[in-house]
Amino acid sequence: MSTLITHRSSRLHTALAAATEDRIVYDLSSIADRYRRLRHELPEAAIRFALKSCPVDEVIGCLVRLGAGIDAAGPQELRQALRAGAPAGRTHYGNTIKSDRDIAAAHRLGIRDFATDSLEDTAAIAAHAPGARVFCRLATSGEGALWGLSRKFGCPPAQAVQVLRTAGRLGLVPAGVSVHVGSQQMTADAWLAAFDSLAETLTALGRAGITLDHVNLGGGLPALGYLGPQGLPLDPPLDKIFAVIREGMLRLRRIHGGHLRFLMEPGRHLVADSGAVRAHVVRLARRPEPDGEPRYWLYLSCGRFNGLYEMDTLRYPLVFPTHPNAEYVPALLAGPTCDSDDAHAGGRVPVPVPRDLASGDPVWVMSSGAYATSYLTRGFNGFAPLPCHLTGGESDD
């Protein structure tokens, strides 16, 4: 049995095969292709790359040169975006949670578009970024997503009207509203619900005499290469999602009655399948479980604290390049640290691995390009962060 690989990139596989040490590898040409496909599907939406998903200068620069803007979550990300060539006018502060100091720092950098979702934050923006444009984030349930992003962010439509009305009174520009349906959203229904909320909000704002210039549809577009519990592709209904988004944009424009721009903040969708981790086997061990039954455990050199933070929720395709015709056995997957949380699915769901794996054998963790560099620790248990290698672009050599 072999693990299914989806969305193959020959450059990515070549770079992984050439690597003799652990690293994260990105194929810039594959990222560019995914961006172009997204623009083809949603030509009416301007793209603001969610930098938090892959804070790698070369990746940011690649997308900016293609026309993308940047969604940043704080001053450090804003500075990185600007250094990588992102124009301040195509860069916004998309985090609704920010201190007075961070608001002022962003304003000094030339940022003029800020997310908000509360009266307190709106007042702080007025005080420390006078005259700025604000867009109010609406709450969503997060249902259907692997990470719901609910409760901590967003407000109901009625409060959004109050926030944007207050913004205008304080000298800010009430410019837009936004949603986020949750990271790795697996349903089109979530987008339908989001458009219902946006429609309600635009209608209420119109009654209040507030005319916006844009709607930010946020992130949530899924990556395509992850596996489900049975080892088969998750297969998100991407075509249906795109169709719902296109129809939703038409609906909102009819309600708005004027020129209404749309933004999207994809992150995972653009980079996950174009990145992979080259790791190696620490040990394949057969150990007794509490019930007395022996169980294989595969310990990798890379885990939750040095590149695969999302391994508790995601199942990545694994490739064992030196074992093309091996007999496979079910094994629990874990990282190398002395932390019991450093295990795939909490050490509960086995994955198929070659029975004859030896310490040092290479393992490719596919579709791991999203958040791999974001969640690296400085060296928990002394395991160093993975270096980053780029292929398919100027950094190919």
* CB-facing half-sphere around the CA of 335: CA atoms within 13 A: 27
Length of the chain: 397
The predicted model gives 146-158 an average pLDDT of 92
Please, what is the end-to-end C-alpha distance for the chain in angstroms?
A: 35
- Model confidence at 1, in pLDDT bands (50, 70, 90)? very low
Is the CB of residue 205 less than 8 Å from the CB of residue 214? no
The pLDDT tens digits for 196-243 are 999 999 999 999 999 999 999 999 999 999 998 778 888 999 999 999
Within 51-127, strands assigned E span 69-72, 91-93, 113-116
Torsion of CA 315, 320, 321, 322, to 10 degrees: 170
Both structure tokens of 275:
């990145």
Give exposure, 225-237, as e/b (b: 16+ Cβ within 10 Å). bbbeeebeebebe
Question: Can you give the pLDDT at residue 9?
Answer: 66
* pLDDT in the model for residue 4: 35
CATH superfamily of 273-391: Lyase, Ornithine Decarboxylase; Chain A, domain 1 (2.40.37.10)
Superfamily of 28-270 according to CATH: Alanine racemase (3.20.20.10)
Closest C-alpha among 211, 194, 178, 306 to residue 248: 194
Backbone phi, then psi, for 348, in 5-degree steps? Answer: -115, -30
CATH 3.20.20.10 positions along the chain are: 28-270
Say if residues 49 and 68 touch (Cβ distance below 8 Å).
yes
| Amino acid present at 110 | G
> Which amino acid, one-letter code, is at 259?
H
pLDDT higher for 6 or 332? 332
Q: Which of 69-73, 124-128, 216-220, 224-228 has the lowest mean pLDDT?
A: 224-228
pTM score: 0.94
Structure tokens given for 86: 């992102």
CA 225 to centroid of chain Cα atoms = 14
Please name the amino acid found at residue 122.
T
Give the burial class of 375: count Cβ atoms within 10 A of its Cβ; 0-12 exposed, 13-18 middle, 19 or more buried.
middle
Looking at the chain, the whole-number percentage of residues with pLDDT higher than 90 is 85
Contacts of 80 (CB under 8 A, 6+ apart): 51, 55, 57, 60, 72
> Which pLDDT score, from 0 to 100, does residue 231 have?
82
Confidence of residue 2 (pLDDT cuts 50, 70, 90): very low
Q: Are 35 and 383 in contact (CB under 8 A)?
A: no
The CATH 2.40.37.10 portion of the chain extends over: 273-391
